[in-house]
Amino acid sequence: MPVRVPDDALTRDPQRIEGMFSAIVPRYDLMNRLMTAGLDRRWRRLAAAEAALSPGDEALDACCGTGDLTLTLLRGCPGCRITGADMSEAMLVRAREKAAAWGEAGARVDFVRADLLALPFDADRFAAATVAFGVRNVPDPGAAFAELRRVVRPGGRVVCLEMTTAPPGPGRRFHALWSERVVPLLGRLIGGDAGAYSYLPASVATFPDADGLAAVMAGAGLTAVRYRRLGFGAVSLHVGVVP
């Protein structure tokens, strides 16, 4: 049975969340592969493509973690400059190590410690902004999207890859079994922290569904918001345009 997550863990307190993610850095990438059967790499490529970057553009990857999407953006646009931002310095250390392994190409990536709700960037700086599996962990998703809209120039895109509740049917039942039983077990055996991975299904249950998340993005001032479902409907890829 999954470890019960204390009710106060779902207040999404920034310090609590930062500490939880910092503690799982050593096995974070491996757990991402196992939890998604390797599909997270494809999902990140789809998110990077939706950013629609052109050579010379500068993009932001918020809540970048260990830099997987940040580097995927760079791979898709080698002539771009990418900034990865995250609250966890431990995650950023690993991200910088991965970028360094890219040699000269990796020098086109910067990683900075930053709060998604108070980004330290000028307005209209970036051609696009992405956030993968991060908005669910902040106390105010609407304010997070407002910040992303602020730092992206008019006409640019805000791309969000996130776990959301699957529609009723086999996909929801499969995902409930996977996330509530299998993922915490993997977290205990491989990740070394069953509690952190039990937080996953609990946080999804208290987060807007795909339609609700689209409404949150629109409420933050983004236009032409659309989404597609991935992963048996349990993952959503949302795209909005800065007016």
How distant, in Å, are the alpha carbons of 80, 152, 225 from that of 27?
Answer: 29, 32, 34
pLDDT at residue number 69: 98
How distant, in Å, are the alpha carbons of 46, 70, 155, 158, 215 from that of 223?
Answer: 20, 24, 10, 10, 10
Under the banding of pLDDT at 50, 70 and 90, the label for residue 192 is low
Q: Which residue has the tokens 């609990």?
A: 202
Question: Which runs of E-coded beta strand occur in the chain?
Answer: 58-62, 81-86, 109-113, 126-132, 152-163, 223-230, 235-241
Under the banding of pLDDT at 50, 70 and 90, the label for residue 134 is very high
pLDDT tens by residue, 78-121: 999 999 999 999 999 999 999 999 999 999 999 999 999 999 99
pLDDT tens by residue, 44-81: 999 999 999 999 999 999 999 999 999 999 999 999 99
Instruction: Answer whether residue 6 shows pLDDT above 50.
Output: no
Average pLDDT score over the chain: 86
188 by DSSP, 3-state: which? helix
pLDDT at residue number 232: 87
CA distance 86 to 104: 23
Instruction: Answer whether residue 7 shows pLDDT above 50.
Output: no
Instruction: Answer whether residue 8 shows pLDDT above 60.
Output: no
Quick one: CA dihedral 159, 162, 165, 171, positive or negative? positive
Instruction: Answer whether residue 10 shows pLDDT above 80.
Output: no
Between 189 and 115, where is the model more confident? Answer: 115
